[in-house]
Amino acid sequence: MDNVQAALYPEDRWANEFAYLGRDPISFEDTISPRFHEFEREAVFRESWLFIGRVEHVAKPGQYFTKEIEVLKTSVLVTRDQAGQVHAFYNVCPHRGNKLVWDTHANVEVQGQCRNFVCKLHGIGFAPDGSLSRLTDPSSWYGEQGRKLRLAKIPMETWNGFIFVNLRPGGPKESLREFIGEPFWQGFDGLPFDLLTERHKFVLECNANWKLMMDGFSEGYHGATTHQAIIPIGNFFDPDELKLRQQHFGIYGRHRQFVAPRIPDGLYSFPIEELAVANPTGPRYPMPFEMPILPHGADPTGFENWGTSANMLWPNMHLQVYYPGYYVTYAFWPLGYDRMRFELEMYMPQSRNFSELFSHKVGAGLFVEAALQDFSLLEATQQGLENRAFAGYPVTDQEILVREFHHKIYEAVRNYQEALGARPA
């Protein structure tokens, strides 16, 4: 490493800035312990605001979608009523507890538009505002019990069009604004989320703990190795003296952030990328609007050569803004201590012609290919950790957010156990 580079990126720069995290090897017991997972369900997911979708998914009255939150054994129904109000309900019929909205299989999420949701068990119907719309055999009900049936509401709030719900018994301990915190709450104002409505969605499952995928997307240190086949990092980084550094790491309460430089324009690995003006970081054609400098919350440094602003909202959402002007959301959902679902959604400007659509499709395909390369390592990592060959694992200064994330996970579970009076996991 040359002297200039060393001055810019001393090896312990971030450990010095976040000294409370220390430098010791970290334990990944939280990814391989079934008992820890049971506490984590309640301490991390039950206590938090959870991202489940966007308001554009229920843009018109009568539109709806369901969201399966298996880690809390809950199905959520999100609707927009005839007055334009968005609601979140437990996806449960209040008569006998049957799941209300589903199609061919009760565990598969659905979306659509309708005036009434009719229970498949006894035909009782409910309007998008949760009120009773159809009562079967009304004379058989005791008094007003039948007429008082109504869907159970779930606390729901939005931030920049992102929908969050809270499943804590008795209601959330804090508002969504308090949960997100001021650096993020107002710091993304000005980003055109409402103009980026072309959606590309991908869903994958694998036999690995959800936090391992979170770890992979919390640093760029792995890029020169994991993605060398499709991202031309070797063309401008020396793999033996890695200089693929993040411009900025930030920790804001429960949430984390990094800002990374962009891949130089005109650098492609395959002919189709040049033809489509796209590479594995997405489409690169001139966007309908420009974001030369990101809002302060998305990049506190004002970095002119920004390529990615990656923002990790506790506990399981990543919001990444990419140059020249689109964004991606990731959601990492536990299905067990050693199984997870990964949801990736890319949001771009609506294509105005075939060239832009082609660029979007190629960019999305290459982007997902890069994500699959990360994903393909998870089961091997899970199996390796399950050996318990080492009590702790050293991480580099470029993996400071990995260290911080597990620090927060252990802290949340420890605080929950102490309040519960339970034996530590």
Q: Which residues pair with 111 in a beta bridge?
A: 65
Show Cβ contacts of residue 31 under 8 Å, excluding neighbours closer than 6 positions: 209, 211, 212, 337, 382, 385
Which pLDDT belongs to residue 232? 60
Which pLDDT belongs to residue 227? 65
Q: Provide the Cα torsion 23, 215, 412, 337; round to 10°.
A: -130
Closest CA to 254 of 170, 198, 313, 178: 313
Degrees to nearest 5, angle at CA 215 with 234 and 246: 45
Domains belonging to the chain, first-starting first, are 3-30+181-420 (3.90.380.10), 51-166 (2.102.10.10)
How far is 64 from 100, CA to CA, in rounded Å? 12
One digit per residue, the tens of pLDDT, for the chain of length 425 reads 333 334 444 567 888 999 999 999 999 999 999 999 999 999 999 999 999 999 999 999 999 999 999 999 999 999 999 999 999 999 999 999 999 999 999 999 999 999 999 999 999 999 999 999 999 999 999 999 999 999 999 999 999 999 999 999 999 999 999 999 999 999 999 899 999 999 999 999 999 999 999 999 898 777 667 766 666 655 555 555 555 678 899 999 999 999 988 877 777 778 888 888 888 888 988 888 778 789 999 999 988 889 999 999 999 999 999 999 999 999 999 999 999 999 999 999 999 999 999 999 999 998 888 888 888 889 999 999 999 999 999 999 999 999 999 999 999 999 999 998 877 77
Which pLDDT belongs to residue 4? 36
Which pLDDT belongs to residue 266? 75
Which pLDDT belongs to residue 293? 86
Q: pLDDT by residue (tens digit) across 299-341? A: 999 888 899 999 999 999 999 999 999 999 999 999 999 999 9
Closest CA to 89 of 131, 121, 46: 131
Which pLDDT belongs to residue 237? 52
pTM: 0.92
